[in-house]
Amino acid sequence: MDRLACVSLPAFPLQILFCRHPEWRGAPAAVVEEDRPQSQVVWVNGHARRAGVLPGLRYAAALALAPTLRAGAVSSSQVIQERDRLTARLRRFTPDVEPAAEYGIFWIGLRGLERLYPSPARWADTIRADLREAGFGATVVIGFTRFGTYAVAQVSEGTRIFHDPAHEQTVALDVPLARLAIAPAVRESLGKLGVTTVSALVRLPDVGLLERFGTDAYRLHQMAAGEQRTALRPSVEPNPVRRRLALDAPEPDLARCLFVFKHLLDPMLATLAARGEALAALEVRVKLDGRGWQVERVRPAAPTLDPVQVLELVRLRLETALRPPTPPAGQPSSGGITDVVLEADGLPAAPEQLQFFSVHPRRDLAAGNRALARLRAEFGEHAVVRARLRDGHLPEARIVWEPMVALAMPQPAAVLRRALVRRLFVRPTPLAATPPHPRNDGWLILGTTYGAVVDLLGPHIVSGGWWVREVDRAYHFAQTRRGDLLWVYHDRLRRRWFLHGLVE
C-alpha cells in the first residue's frame, strides 16, 4: 500500500494569531469571531483554559474571568491565505499535498521520497522543523489511510510512524470522539448512547446511523470502518500570473510606459478574478537600456482588482526608482525601458470585489433598445416588430407580427433532449418542375449543392379554406443526400411544388 502522512496543525486559527502576536504565547489568549465586546470566543490556549475561559463564552465574560486575556479576530480569508501559503511551503518536500476541508489538516503522499530521505522519520522531522521556523507547531503521523492518520494525529504530538496497517487501525479505534471534528449536537447524542470512542461508533449499524444522525456521522462511520477510501487528490499548484513585453525601441517617457503596463495588467487582473483572487502585490521588472534589469515591488493597502489604484502605485514607485543618475561630463545619459515583466501575487478576493470586476454580458440590452428607438424614429413605429403565435388553419397564418417595445433576455427552459426546429419562410418558394416520381427519380430539389432527395416522408394533408379560398396541400419532409431536411408541399390545385421551410 502507498503510504501517506497527515500533517496536523492544532488550533490553526490560534496559531495564526500567535504568528501575528508572538508576545502573547505566554499569556491567556483567545480567538474571537469579531473584535467586539459581545463577540463569541472560538479558540483558547492552555493558559486561558486554566483561567476558566472556554469556547462559546462572550469576550466580555471571558475578560471577567481572565483580566489579562489577549484576544484577536482571525477571518476566514486570513485562514485560507495562510493555508495556501503553507500548502506551497509543503510542496518543497513533495508535490503531492492535499489540504483538507478542516483547516490545519494536510495529507501528503510519500511516493518517490525513499531516495531523498534516509527514513520517513527524518522526512517528518524536516517538515516539522520547517513549519516551526514559519511559526507553527505540527504533528506528523505517517501511515496508510486518511482516517487512521488523521485520528491518531489528534491525540499525538511530534512524529508517529506506523509500519503495519493493522496497528494503525487499532490505535485509531481507541481515539475519543471528542478529539475529532464532529458537530457538538451529534457528539452529545452519541454520548448519551455510550458511544465515546471510534470503536464504539464502528459497532453501530450504519443504516440506523444515517437515519438518526445524518450524513456527517455516517461518512465518519464509513471512513473509520474502512468502507470509504479515496485516493490522494493533490492540489494543483497554480501557474504564476505573469506577463512580459519587449518594446520595439527604448522608451524614456514613463507616462507612455504606463499604457504598456495597463495593457499587460488588465488580462492579469482578469485571470486573478477568474481564480477568485485579488492582487496583493505586483512585481515590476524593467530592463533599462544601458543599465540592465531593475526589480521593484508595489503592494496596495488591501488586495484589489482596481487597475487604476495599481497603476498609480507603479507610477510613484518607478518615478523614484528609475530616476537616471547624472552622467559624467562628456558622456550621454542612459536610454529608456526596453523590456517589461509583471508578476502578480494573488489572495482570496471578497465577493464584492469579484462582482465589481465581473465581465459585462455580451448582450447589452440598453444598447439594443437605443438602436431600436433610432429605427422607430426613422422608419415609424411598425418598423420594429416581433412574431407571436396564434391559432390559424395554414402554417403561415399561425404567426402575427406585433410591435416590440423593448428587448428582454431570453429565458429558455431546460430540456433533456434537444428537439428539431422547423424554420418557416414568410412566403413559400416555388420549386422547379419535379420528376413524375420524386421518391426514386433523383429529384435535385435545390440543385446539386444539396444533392438528390433520398427519402420523402409524408404526405400530411392540409385542406380547407373553401369559405374564402380553397387550399389543398400535401406536406412532405424531404431528406437530401447531404443530410438536410426540407419541408415541402405539393399544391394539388396548382399542381406545383413549394419549399415552405427547413428543419434544423
Average pLDDT of span 196-216: 82
Confidence of residue 1 (pLDDT cuts 50, 70, 90): low
H/E element, 422:
strand 422-430
H/E element, 216:
helix 215-224
pLDDT for res 327 = 52
For 87-103, the DSSP string reads HHHHTTT-S-EEE-SST
Return all residues near 50 (Cβ < 8 A) that are at least 6 apart.
none
Return all residues near 100 (Cβ < 8 A) that are at least 6 apart.
106, 107, 150
Residue 441 DSSP label: T
- Return d(Cα 229, Cα 235) in angstroms, integer: 18
For 344-392, the DSSP string reads EEEEEPPHHHHHHHPPPPS--HHHHHHHHHHHHHHH-GGGSEEEEE---
H/E element, 426:
strand 422-430
Identity (one letter) of the amino acid at 385? V
Average pLDDT of span 318-333: 61
**Superfamily covering domain 241-322+335-357:** DNA polymerase, Y-family, little finger domain (3.30.1490.100)
For 244-255, the DSSP string reads EEEEEEEE--HH
Identity (one letter) of the amino acid at 463? S
- Return d(Cα 342, Cα 240) in angstroms, integer: 10
pTM of the predicted structure, to 2 decimals: 0.55
Report the topology of domain 4-165: MutS, DNA mismatch repair protein, domain I (3.40.1170)
Domain assignments of the chain as residue spans, ordered by start: 4-165, 176-224, 241-322+335-357, 365-403, 422-503
Contact 504, 420 (CB under 8 A): yes
Contact 479, 454 (CB under 8 A): yes
User: Is the model's pLDDT at 141 over the cut of 50?
Assistant: yes
Q: Are strands 139-143 and 159-161 parallel, antiparallel or unpaired?
A: parallel
Q: Please tell me the least confidently modeled range out of 29-33, 234-238, 395-399, 454-458.
A: 234-238
- Return d(Cα 260, Cα 327) in angstroms, integer: 27
Q: What share of the chain has pLDDT > 70, as a percent? A: 90
- Cell output for 9: 496543525
User: Is the model's pLDDT at 257 over the cut of 90?
Assistant: no
- Return d(Cα 132, Cα 397) in angstroms, integer: 81
Bridge partners of 7?
106, 140
pLDDT in tens, 397-437: 777 888 887 888 777 776 666 677 778 887 888 887 677 66
- Return d(Cα 198, Cα 271) in angstroms, integer: 45
Give how far Cα 209 sits from Cα of 20, 72, 173, 186, Å: 42, 39, 18, 11
The three-state (H, E, C) secondary structure of 271-324, written as one string:
HHHHCCEEEEEEEEEEEECCCEEEEEEECCCCCECCHHHHHHHHHHHHHHHCCC
pLDDT in tens, 64-118: 999 999 999 998 888 888 998 899 899 888 888 888 888 889 999 888 787 788 8
- Return d(Cα 440, Cα 71) in angstroms, integer: 89
